[in-house]
Amino acid sequence: MSETTEKVRKTLARRYRAEKRFKAFGIGSIGIGLMALVLLFTDIIGKGYSAFFEYEIQLPITFDAEVLDVSDPRDEDELNYGNYQGVIRDALAERFPSVEGRQDTRALNQLVSTGAGYALRDMLREDPSLLGKTRTLWLLTDDDVDLFLKASEKQREDSRLNAKQQQWVAELEASGETRMVFNQSLFSYGDSREPEQAGILGAILGSLFTMIVTLVLSFPVGVAAAIYLEEFAPKNKFTDFIEVNINNLAAVPSIIFGLLGLAVIIGLFGLPRSVPLVGGIVLTLMTLPTIIISSRAAIKAVPPSIRQAAMGLGASKMQVVLHHVLPLALPGMLTGAIIGMAQALGETAPLLMIGMVAFIVDLPAGPLDAATVLPVQIYLWADSPEQSFEALASAAIMVLLAFLITMNTLAVVLRKRLERRW
């Protein structure tokens, strides 16, 4: 055995150990990444799933004309100013006759959400004959009661309800006068200061309008720019400058686009704050590089033989591009656009700059109404002190992620179905 072989043999075990260690590090790294992903998702689902449900309590409600101060339920004005809280108070007092004293009565009345009154009003409007009758109804609870009912035995000790309220709620629960239902208000209302009445519909509509503006502006402009750069642009300094700009814009922090929107679109052009139109313009500028880059890749993938064949038949350059290259590249461009839209949908920072953080209860009806968007709504709720908003924020995150996953899946499917291999 030669000296070198001897040396190698001696170190071989150590080297193999090093090899194994190195490989283990690799597996460990991937494990860390995947674990972070799993942790993130389980955390959000664990925090948020309860927000999709809410508790109601059963009360026999008497639509007493005198208490309500409503004589004619067909009169819209009278209906709107009816004392629905009074009816609920009476029902609660009847259910818990032993409660006395101002403080306790008030504590009792706090069990039912202030939104329950509006539900009664809507019922009365639907069916005016209810006036004067008694119905056993399920009423929305206050968010603290909701949290208490959702909590485990141990968590109930930290409840914000006082001892008496806890006792009442426990009594209702024991006698089957509480039930858990799907949280409809989450998908049918805008923001609210009361967690049990807050919904994400306003934010979803805001996001929708913003995305429409973004798509309508960024897709045509992005495709046109890509066509110019790939097919028409002469090789010169100006074209190089455009390309450098596009590459840099793709890496500029998104908040800078917000500053641009604030200074130019709002400051200089005088467009209003907080509206989806301005948000859409800002997001257009942000997603444009993504769309241009992917559209260029799609145009590049169209083989030159197609162009040559069309030209050979006498088509002009513009006809070649518009009649042959563009339709063939369109699936790739659409995929890029969807991915760009998904990015824009999740974007928050630039929208904070242009004032889309306002507290807006009304549902926006168009791109010129003040609105907020889904990610900003998540940010607002995550910052709220009340505990119920945390679950709402998680629920909103789940909805946002569902949208994003759908969009990305759509992009993948589209690419698989429509993309042609040459």
Partner 1 sequence: MQTGNLLLLLVVMVAGAYFVGLRRSYALARPLGGIRHLHSLPFYFAMRSAMWCAIPALVVLGLWLAFDDSIIRQQVLAGLPAELQPTDASSYNLTLSKIQNVASGALPVGFVEPPIAAAAENLQSLRQTSAMAMTVVIIVLCMFGGAWAWLKVSPQLRARQQVERVLQTLFMLCATVAILTTVGIVLSVLFESIRFFGKVPVTDFLFGLQWSPQTALRADQVASGGAFGAVPLFMGTMLISAIALLVAVPVGLMSAIYLAEYASNRVRTVAKPALEVLAGVPTVVYGFFAALTVAPFIRGMGESIGLNVASESALAAGLVMGIMIIPFVSSLADDVITAVPQAMRDGSLGLGATKSETIKKVIFPAALPGIMGGILLAASRAIGETMIVVMAAGLAANLTANPLEAVTTITVQIVTLLTGDQEFDSAKTLAAFALGLMLFITTLVMNIFALHIVKKYREQYD
Q: Tell me how far the alpha carbon of residue 409 is from its chain's centroid.
A: 17
Backbone angles phi, psi at 384, to 5 degrees: -75, 145
Please name the residue that has the structure tokens 């917000």. 258
At closest approach, how far in Å is the CB of 351 from partner 1? 10
- Smallest separation (angstroms) from partner 1 to the CB of 206: 14
Which of residues 132 and 253 has its CB atom nearest to partner 1 in the complex?
253
Instruction: Report the nearest approach of partner 1 to the CB of residue 155 (Å).
Output: 15
Cα–Cα distance measured from residue 167 to residue 192, given in angstroms and rounded to the nearest whole number: 28
Residues 289, 270: Cα–Cα separation, whole Å: 26
Q: How far is the CB of 379 from partner 1 (least distance, A)?
A: 5
Q: CB of 323: closest distance to partner 1 in angstroms?
A: 12
Q: Is 289 helix (H, G, I), strand (E, B) or coil?
A: helix
Residue with smaller CB distance to partner 1, 1 or 163: 1
Nearer to partner 1, 72 or 158 (CB): 158
Q: Which is nearer to partner 1, 300 or 317 (CB)?
A: 317
- Shortest approach of partner 1 to residue 298 CB, angstroms? 16
Task: Please report how close the Cβ of residue 284 comes to partner 1 at its closest, in angstroms.
Answer: 9
> Least distance to partner 1 from the beta carbon of 409, Å?
11
Beta carbon nearer to partner 1, 53 or 228? 228
Among 363, 393, 365, 398, CA closest to 378: 393
Question: Which CB atom, from 27 or from 174, has the smaller least distance to partner 1?
Answer: 27
Distances (CA, A) of 59 to 53, 94, 169, 177: 20, 9, 13, 8
Least Å distance between CB 37 and partner 1? 6
User: Residue 138, SS3?
Assistant: strand
Report in angstroms the alpha-carbon separations of 209 from 212, 219, 264, 365, 385. 5, 15, 21, 9, 29
Find all residues with CB under 8 Å of 173, minimum gap 6, and list them. 149
Q: For residues 171 and 383, which CB has a smaller minimum distance to partner 1 in the complex?
A: 383
* Burial of residue 228, with CB atoms counted within 10 A of its CB: 0-12 exposed, 13-18 middle, 19 or more buried: middle
Q: Amino acid letter at 336?
A: G
**Quick check: 74 and 102 in contact, CB under 8 A?**
no
Q: Convert 187-242 into a string of H (helix), E (strand) and C (coil).
A: HHCCCCCCHHHCCCHHHHHHHHHHHHHHHHHHHHHHHHHHHHHHHHCCCCHHHHHH
Please state, in angstroms and rounded to a whole number, the distance separating the CA atoms of residues 14 and 4: 16
Whether the Cβ atoms of residue 292 and residue 274 lie closer than 8 Å to each other: no
Q: Of 38 and 181, which CB lies nearer to partner 1 in the complex structure?
A: 38
Rounded to whole angstroms, how far apart are CA atoms 414 and 407? 10
When the beta carbons of 173 and 390 are compared against partner 1, the nearer one is 390
